[in-house]
Chain A
């Protein structure tokens, strides 16, 4: 759920890991690709003398597989809420010691409260960033095909007659069954976290009725597809779409990308800092987390990655263009319409994956 400018992240990782000395204090940070401003890690090392081994991933599933195998060696990881919820049940995280976090008070208490549904009392997490899933669209291509119809609606991808009009310019949907099905359930007026078989069937039927108009299911390539004009509507993560927007502007090919949070409501997700139970450098991990909680650090991250941070103290330092972008920091009215996703039972996950495969392949 985030930008994937892998090149930059890789360069960063190399830069951070070149000066290895054995006795040095270190912390192993495993984060989403392109999900931090590089200066944070450099300044952290300058201020504390702790070297950061920075490594990146691009899916929750990959992170989970590493943590579940045990002995990953990471000290700080950044799972998404519903994943952390299940991982806490498996006992793979140690509790956060708040006495070591002098900047914990900077957090937005409303957000912290919301996150506690994933982790009772927020014992195992510290909020990092959050965002929404919505519609990224090519302003001109969509206008050409739909006229002046408002675009802040999931009708674009869920109403067969409308989706059919967009088929020729390309519709892309995240290849993420749990998230997309919950948005479909919510669109149908059902509980987005429902595990009822009948509800899943309805959502599957909805997806199948429009499947014919979809081009691809993918969770990262749509960024460049949107930016190049290869696809005109994408159900994707807000920061990814905004990244496509800035790439398109840089390319100067006249591609104009917009982001809309659907009026029917959509999913809000939280990425959370956590410390694995077997982390070798727990004290350093707390120091790093505390550094990220500093108002300046959080603001710098938000300004760099175009995702919202749940850090009240940082807001005055966040650039106006970021803070006032309704795609990044939505209005309270829009916020009221957002829902969070719970962790599903293993049984439902299996039904969900099967339903998803049947939507995608027709089998």
Chain B
């Protein structure tokens, strides 16, 4: 938004009236543009969120659907009965297991996000610095793996990492190890899976930030005697910061709730909130409890992130 407003000021700098009219017309356009994503968010995020929240306040029942309704009324008897059950939320604090699962998910997501950043930065940098004609090719190479099913690609990693898989066979053949390494069913494999799967989500925002960077700044720094490492941390990283933040959020948020990758690549002792949700929903058949776990995850993890993002948006606008 900040960019649009900025250009509006430049364009309308002729007369006051023209500026006023121009701003007014842009506000109408802005309204229309914002309405579409707002309606979209309301239908596909906010309403489902309310439904899940409602279920989290009910109790399980042997019925279809398997939970009680919050509101009961009988017009003839003239009574309305609202029954809210907070027990599911209280139970989350009774057993430290849920806290462990949240923390473990955050830990795995944070480490994988960091690793993804480390891997993605050089790739994005290289693409941003190549000639425009090569950029398109390199970018499409980053996106290309998406054309194959995500599940197939994770299965391919299982083939690489298993005991008699490609990696072990190669290392054994070269005489580097004499016993096959246990890589599959470990946290290590989960990190590989997440970094591999989410890499494009990190590369693309980094690329778009780095591509806009003015190379003359680096030359100026060099002229003034800055070593490459120093100009990297003082110039390149701050310039890429919006891309770094966007990429990290795009990787971190889905990684926290990731279910498939830890289920296929992780060990039985890899504890993540996605698995806990599955168990609550399918093994315990406790839809209200599963909903409470999901709501708390949203509040504990996503809310702070949204607040940070919001405050940053304001800073940029100023």
Give A residues with C-beta under 8 Å from B.
Answer: 59, 61-62, 64-65, 67-70, 86, 89-92, 175, 177, 214-217, 228-230, 346, 349-350, 352-354, 356-358, 360-363
Contacts and interface: CB of A to CB of B under 8 A. Distances in A.
Interface residues of B, number: 27
A216 B95 CA distance: 25
Contacts, number: 72
Interface in B280-307: 280-286
Given A228-B164, A354-B97, A363-B271, A90 B63 contact: yes
A161 B281 CA distance: 36
B284 A361 contact: no
A230 B63 contact: no
A216 B268 contact: yes
A213 to B, nearest CB: 13
Nearest to B279: A353
B292 to A, nearest CB: 13
Contacts of B97: 354, 357-358, 363
A230 B164 contact: yes
Which of B64, B65, B185 lies at the interface centre, i.e. has the most chain A CB atoms within 10 A of its CB? B64
Contact of A90 (B64, B95, B280): B64
Contacts of B100: 363
B269 A360 contact: yes
8 contacts: A65-B281, A68-B66, A68-B285, A70-B64, A90-B66, A357-B97, A357-B279, A361-B269
Contacts of B284: 346, 349-350, 353
Contact of A216 (B164, B185, B281, B282): B185
Interface of B: 60, 62-66, 95, 97, 100, 162-164, 185, 267-271, 276, 279-286
B283 A349 contact: yes
B162 A349 contact: no
A346 B281 contact: no
Nearest to B96: A363
Contacts of B66: 68, 90
B65 A346 contact: no
A69 to B, nearest CB: 6
A92 B268 contact: no
Given A354-B97, A361-B268, A362-B269, 7 more contacts: A59-B282, A64-B282, A70-B65, A230-B164, A353-B280, A357-B279, A361-B269
A350 B286 contact: yes
Chain B contact residues: helix, strand, loop or mixed: loop
Which of B95, B185, B268, B282 lies at the interface centre, i.e. has the most chain A CB atoms within 10 A of its CB? B268
Contacts of A229: 164
A120 B58 CA distance: 31
B65 A69 contact: yes
A68 B64 contact: yes
Nearest to A362: B269
Given A61-B283, A230-B162, A361 B271 contact: yes
Nearest to B163: A230
Contact of A92 (B64, B270, B283): B64
B64 A346 contact: no
Nearest to B63: A90
B113 to A, nearest CB: 23
Contacts of B62: 86, 89-90, 346
Nearest to B158: A221
Which of B62, B185, B271, B286 lies at the interface centre, i.e. has the most chain A CB atoms within 10 A of its CB? B62
Contacts of A59: 282
A74 to B, nearest CB: 14
Contacts of A175: 268
B267 A216 contact: yes
A14 B38 CA distance: 39
B13 to A, nearest CB: 59
A215 B65 CA distance: 37
Contacts of A230: 162-164
A215 B281 contact: no
Given A357-B279, A363-B100, A64 B271 contact: no
Nearest to B61: A90
A255 to B, nearest CB: 12
A237 B64 CA distance: 30
Contacts of A91: 63-64
A358 B64 CA distance: 31
B158 to A, nearest CB: 9
B268 to A, nearest CB: 4
Contacts of A356: 283
A27 B162 CA distance: 42
Which of A67, A214, A360 lies at the interface centre, i.e. has the most chain B CB atoms within 10 A of its CB? A360
